[in-house]
A and B are shown apart, each in its own frame.
Chain A
Amino acid sequence: MVKINDKRMSRRTLLKGAAAMAGTAAGAGVITGFPTVWAQNIKDVTITHIGSIYTTNPTVAAQAAKDLGFKVDMQTLDQTTQINRMLTQPETVDVTDFGNTAMGYFKGKNLIMAIPVKEYKWWDQTVPLFTKGTYPNGKPYSMQGYAPIKSQFWSSADATDYSLTPTDWIVGIPVMYNADTLGVRPDLVKRPITSWKDLLSSDFTGKTALQDGVGVGVPDAANALEANGDLTYVDKGNMTRDEIDKTIAKLIEYKKAGQFRSFWTDFDQSVQLMASGEVVIQSMFAPAVTEVRTRGIACTFQGLKEGYRGWYIFQMAMKHLDSGDKLRRDCVMEYMNWCNSGFNGAYFSRQGFYSSVPDTMKKVLTENEYGYWYDGKAATADILDPFGKVMEHAGAKRDGGALWDRMGNVGIWNTLMDEDRYLNKRWQEFISA
């Protein structure tokens, strides 16, 4: 008999589970991946996945339930709420996901499970960004900011500290990643944009914007300041106090001179700024660029000579699963393996994100889609977004080209700095100035 000790399981579901167990003899083992005896009682399992707007959506949740035979309750939360929920009610969460701006929070917190590499079946096919800390051609990538290898491995099974070299325990399974750059309105800029320094160019005074935050906005600003020759850094993604002081001082100078039109906090704001023409060049995320374009407004997102700002999202399992119900833990692992098996990756690939297991995408995307999104080829037919809306017509090419033309040229990664506390204080001064 499987032990069911989940607090959320009511007496009723327990009874149903028991009845289902009795019925297992009838042999209804249609669900893949599980031994037949489990097939009946997993249908009473619901696992809770909390995540961002990019990683949780009803379409994928419904497909997961259909493929796996148990329910996945996806909840979309903002990052602050998500972390609070994990810290204060860890047992109400099974699966969670975060990008590199939050990975620094989980060291020594006893929150996240150390996943044995052998339990994750796509590891061998995962891009070496995560498995080895290099590009596919073996070259090392920029270690400025929270590079993937900085938060991919636990140093040991007790899951307290990260290891910079591969171990047998992974912090999370890599889900999606991308390379961001400056979004540009080519019709209003009227000259080629080649460098991050154009964000600070006097040609665009009062027409630029930055993401409002220390994990993305500051790296973008630092990229621009360095490119412009205003400052030099040892590591823009992990500044010293002195570098922070100089950065903030420079930014205040630019702010007072009216360089920035606005700082945006959410996706919609960045779209609105660009679409309305309030801003002609700004920090931007890929789906926001896509959104501007679907409104029929030209918006480019091409590479700059200092490289892209890279990011990734890890999906993690909560540590309480290791000491709890074995069946629940198995379901969670099954779900995490499912997440990189095709459907989910195809869904977000059509929004412009990259899958950590690109090979699985070849099976679920059409040749035209794979060519457009991953190989940088011209579309041979209309390109549809995940909702079936036409995004690009035949002949269109993705900005920046193929996967490794973009992803192989990362200058800095989204970050959480060691001096975060100090940086936040100084950032307040910048906003107040």
Chain B
Amino acid sequence: MNKTANFASLLQITPFALVMLLLVIVPLGIIFVVSFFDYGYAQIIPSIIWDNYTDIFFSRVTLDLYITAFKHVAIVWAITAVLGFFIAYYVIFLVQTNFWKAIFLMACAIPFWTSGAIRMVSWVPLLGREGLVNQALVGLGIIKEPISWLLYSDFSVLLSYVNLLTLAMLGPIANSMAKIDQSLIQAARDQGATEWQTIREIILPLAKPGIAIGSIFVITGVMGDFFIVKKMSGSQINTPAGSIMNMITALEYPPAAAQSVIMLIVVLGIVAAILRVVDVRKELTQ
């Protein structure tokens, strides 16, 4: 590469590098530094202490927080992966015209048509003790007493996650599937493959990068959420992100920063593991 080309490419990456530096690297650096500071009432005291980290590492609460979060991640990931894969499969391969494909994909975005706060409040008349679901079940004679675990429980938190994050999984998978050469599928059918064999041998391997990207969205979405878990559990379930939010509300920034650093490492670890298993770069360069 000659010098001019080198200079040109440097010039090209400069704006993005600056944005990354100023809006991502520097703030993260500040968070890291603050995580070692002492604190008082609405006050950050710049003297180094280890308590913020020892509190995290030697507390039973931390373990509980991460167990809860990982449980949520595992369940939501499994459900959204299955749902996302099969809905995408249906839309891409079984729906014939592009018009209807677009309509179906757009329909998947319906949960996003309203604001988060309203969406959360709307679950109450549906899932509450006096809600529609309970009324229907009691009315049909299936249950005698209204079920209370439909709302303010693990169930309602997971339901809300699935409701919102299935689209995040479905989108990338549908994108991967749309890129699959139809002649491959035709060839498989010509060889006498059943529908299931085609899915397993052809579509699933080729959709892997989409699944990986969708998984990153879902996992970071669940790990980073404090709003849904707070509202849907009635503040009765705590997660690492929820605990960070509680500390911020109490104006306790140093311990919140320490918890954020730990969480960042954990989430980056998960993402790195996914990227090791699936070569996403291949997908992006296709």
Contact = CB atoms under 8 A, between A and B. Distances in A.
A278 B251 contact: no
5 contacts: A107-B41, A262-B235, A272-B121, A432-B238, A432-B243
B61 A80 contact: no
B101 interface: no
B201 interface: no
B124 A276 contact: yes
B41 A261 contact: no
Interface in B109-137: 117, 121, 124-125, 128-131
Nearest to A105: B42
B152 A421 contact: no
A424 interface: yes
Interface string B238-256: 1000110011111110000
B279 interface: no
Contacts of A429: 60-61
A424 B246 contact: yes
Interface in A245-281: 255, 260-265, 268-269, 272-273, 276-278
Interface in A265-302: 265, 268-269, 272-273, 276-278
Contacts of B207: none
Interface string A195-234: 0000000000010010011100000000000000000000
Contacts of B130: 276-278
A186 interface: no
A107 B39 CA distance: 15
Contact of B248 (A80, A206, A264, A277): A80
A278 B152 CA distance: 10
A263 B234 contact: yes
A80 B247 CA distance: 11
B41 A420 contact: yes
A276 B128 contact: yes
A83 B251 contact: yes
A80 B234 contact: no
B59 to A, nearest CB: 8
Contacts of A433: 64
A245 to B, nearest CB: 14
B186 interface: no
B3 to A, nearest CB: 45
B235 A214 contact: no
B246 A427 contact: yes
Contacts of A261: 148, 152, 234
Nearest to A430: B238
Interface in A401-433: 416, 420-421, 424-425, 427-429, 431-433
A262 B234 contact: yes
Nearest to B55: A425
A371 to B, nearest CB: 36
A87 interface: yes
Nearest to B233: A262
A420 B236 contact: no
B217 to A, nearest CB: 26
B128 A278 contact: yes
Interface of B: 39, 41-43, 55, 60-61, 64-65, 68, 117, 121, 124-125, 128-131, 148, 151-152, 230-231, 234-238, 242-243, 246-252
Nearest to A111: B42
Contact of A416 (B41, B68, B151): B41
Interface residues of A, number: 38
A431 B151 contact: no
Nearest to A427: B246
A29 interface: no
B234 A431 contact: no
A400 interface: no
Contact of A432 (B42, B61, B129): B61
A90 interface: no
A104 interface: yes
Given A105-B41, A265-B230, A416-B41, A278 B68 contact: no
B236 A431 contact: yes
A321 to B, nearest CB: 21
Nearest to B252: A424
Interface in A50-99: 80, 83-84, 87
A277 B129 CA distance: 8
Given A420-B41, A432-B65, 17 more contacts: A80-B249, A80-B251, A84-B251, A105-B251, A107-B41, A209-B234, A261-B152, A263-B234, A273-B124, A276-B131, A278-B130, A421-B39, A425-B55, A428-B61, A428-B243, A432-B237, A432-B243
B241 to A, nearest CB: 12
B250 A424 contact: yes
Contact of B121 (A104, A213, A268): A268
A265 to B, nearest CB: 6
Interface string A124-139: 0000000000000000
Contact of A214 (B42, B55, B250): B250
Nearest to A80: B249
Contacts of A83: 42, 251
A351 to B, nearest CB: 22
Contacts of A87: 42
A322 to B, nearest CB: 21
B251 A263 contact: no
- Most chain A CB within a 10 A radius of its CB, from B39, B64, B230, B249: B249
Nearest to A272: B124
Contacts of B151: 278
Contacts of A428: 61, 238, 243, 246-247
